[in-house]
Amino acid sequence: MNIILIEFIFYCVAILLIGYVFSKKSKTQSDFLLGGKKLPGWALAFSERATGESAWLLLGYTGFVFMTGLSGVWVAAGIALGIIFSWLFLAKKFMRETEKYNVLTLPDYLAVRFGQKATIIRWITSLLIAGFLMFYVGAQMAGAGKMLFTTFGLDPTAGVLIATAIIIIIAFSGGFISVVWTDMIQSIMMLITLVVLPIVALVYINTNDLSITQSLVSAGNSYNSWFGGLTGFAVGVLFFNNFAWFFGFLGGQPQLSTRFMALKNDKDARQGSTVAIIWTFLAYGGAFIIGLAAIAIYDQGSFPDVETILPTMILDLLPHWFAGILLAGILAAIITTADSQLLVVTSSVSEDIIHKAMGIQLSEKSLVWISRSSVLVFGLVGMIIALVSDSLLYLVVSWAWAGVGCTLSPAILMTFFWKRYSSTGLVATVLAGLFSTILWISTPLESIITSRFSTFFIAAFFGIAFSLLFPDKKESSAVSNTEKAL
């Protein structure tokens, strides 16, 4: 265990040094929030994947498969298709729209694109993002606490405090540039873990005469069925509840969309697409196999918290020196993912509300320091959420995914591809998504049909209806003509 602790400390120091080195390159607000559009496509792709998954994939999804069996594959299917769609059909559009409107954030883009209600759009989208993503940040911090508890037996509260300190230091120092480069390292470490551990687990199962197939049968009738042993309407419910993660990937996750906005050119976009798609197949395939292998290796009910399965398997199946490297990388991946989400919250406050919505004119230096101060404040808020929340990572991330991703995804899709979408329709989309998510997860409806599914279609319905009822005035025709020319 001492060698694991040494490797963990060394890894964290290395990540902090990387953040410090790249902090010198964040001289403007554009650098701090979007990297000045100077980063290579492959690095942005690795960063986008690490940001999109991390604690959710490593801890939440592997634990989910352990609890559900084969039917857990539909979560991976929905997510994989969402990632492929976003990189192939949305990434270049985000890049071009960012250049066209000269914006730094997703709320700023929507506000400039629909100028007639720019102020209210900035306020509601920024508050939506800040409100829900703070729970996402808190979930990452809670995940870090679980990792430290499983690895070192450290009190989860102390683990959250340590993780919070590192998260704030990295985001405070270098902003987007340092987060992307540290993300890249974590993304590679995640991939190594999710490729190597399934192979080791399968070898262990074969060597010890265990059987995944037999273990699935023994675990219960639902485990060895691709549809959870359900029939009829119940199959449709299970499919949509698991597959519904797809809807949050359609441009509405600002911590992911900023990577598309930061792309330099079409070549980088193609490069990023290739990297992201290959990463997704390897990582989700590996995570699914890890969950199934755990069913064969461990008895059901042997984990007080199933979201500690992956670090437990690493410690049980791998040499300590190698386990230490992987565990340090996983923890650092969780930390840098929290950094990405924290920067999105920060940009919503500093750039969209203080700078744009409130119209406070400040120098570039002052804007950067406001952003850094916001990192400190919201980092502490995320820490409090992590300490007081008993919710599982899977559940908390699911709610945030619905509230932000499944609200803003229909807004982005209609902005990109429907010419009759109006500023009033956009406001209706965001408000409908916000309130429907809150109401849905507060009632028994969430246990029947997930809010990740309902929020997307409720928000889209209100967006379409209000756009048809309240079209924008014709003075926006100049913008329409510009769009036709592209």
Task: State the CATH number of the domain containing residue 312.
Answer: 1.20.1730.10
Mean of the per-residue pLDDT values for the chain? 81
Q: Is residue 483 part of a domain?
A: no
Cα separation of the two ends of the chain: 59
Instruction: Return the pLDDT at 280.
Output: 94
| CA distances from residue 238 to 165, 222, 407, 449 in whole angstroms, order as listed | 39, 12, 21, 8
53 DSSP 8-state letter: S
* Alpha helix (H) residue ranges in 228-355: 233-243, 254-261, 266-297, 309-317, 320-347
Instruction: Return the pLDDT at 395.
Output: 63
For 255, the domain range is 2-390
Write phi, then psi, for 361 (nearest 5 degrees).
-90, 120
Span 121-126, mean pLDDT? Answer: 90
Instruction: Return the pLDDT at 476.
Output: 46
Q: Is residue 397 part of a domain?
A: no
Q: Is residue 385 part of a domain?
A: yes
CA distance 49 to 395: 20
Helix (H) or strand (E) holding 165: helix 156-207
Helix (H) or strand (E) holding 17: helix 2-23
209 DSSP 8-state letter: T
CA distance 233 to 238: 9
Q: Is residue 453 part of a domain?
A: no
**How many structural domains are present in the chain?**
1
Which residue has tokens 């979560």?
75
Helix (H) or strand (E) holding 466: helix 451-469
Q: Of 206, 273, 217, nearest to 49 (Cα)?
A: 273
Higher pLDDT: 285 or 224? It is 285
Instruction: Return the pLDDT at 336.
Output: 67
pLDDT by residue (tens digit) across 329-387?
Answer: 777 667 767 777 777 777 777 767 776 777 777 666 676 677 677 777 877 887 887 77
CA distance 69 to 79: 17
Residues in contact with 87: Cβ distance below 8 Å, sequence separation at least 6, in sequence order? 45, 272, 273, 276, 277
Q: Is residue 197 part of a domain?
A: yes
Instruction: Return the pLDDT at 236.
Output: 61
Q: Is residue 456 part of a domain?
A: no
Q: Is residue 310 part of a domain?
A: yes
* Length of the chain, in residues: 486
Residues in contact with 462: Cβ distance below 8 Å, sequence separation at least 6, in sequence order? 425, 428, 429, 431, 432
pTM: 0.80
pLDDT by residue (tens digit) across 22-80?
Answer: 665 555 555 555 555 678 889 999 988 888 877 678 888 888 899 888 988 888 888 89
CA distance 240 to 237: 5
Top mean pLDDT of 296-300, 457-461, 479-483 is at 457-461
Q: Is residue 369 part of a domain?
A: yes
CA distance 368 to 359: 16
Instruction: Return the pLDDT at 484.
Output: 45
- Check: CB of residue 223 under 8 Å from CB of residue 69: yes
- Check: CB of residue 60 under 8 Å from CB of residue 307: yes
